[in-house]
Structure 1
Amino acid sequence: MTHQPDPSHGDHNHSEQSHRPPSFWRSRAGIYLIVALVVGGTLLGIEHRVHILDSGLLVWLPLLLCVGMHFFMHGGHGGHGSGGDKS
């Protein structure tokens, strides 16, 4: 029995589709690195909380959070859909 293409799926040619390599951050090593950085940052924050709270740098935390959220949520620069016409 041969496999017949289904006309309801349109004209898809799998050889024309570009395959991106998997992202490092979604791999097992990337997830372990993220967990290690979070744990290390938490331990540093706990150990040095007196210095952090007394320094006055806590005022800048909302600004840093906004920049970080913008970077990670939009995927860096160019994530706003300003790529132009792709046809």
Structure 2
Amino acid sequence: MMWDRRWILLSASLTVIAAIFREHWQHVLGLTPYLLLLACPLMHLFHGHGHAGHRHDRESHPKELGDIT
């Protein structure tokens, strides 16, 4: 029963979004430079947390010059 409501909500949301894009396409295209500028700081905020990117502990640094493990 819950999945039926989710599918109905999803399809209704997609229909509304498609109607907004169809009717206001020029406004949406006018906002794309600002969306790109907004994407840059968001990528900087959320990107560095994986891949052991911003660890500041001593264990993550090599012990000797040739030690990379």
Task: Report the TM-score, using the length of structure 2 for normalisation.
Answer: 0.44
Considering Cα pairs closer than 8 Å and 6+ residues apart, tell me whether 1 or 2 has the greater RCO.
2
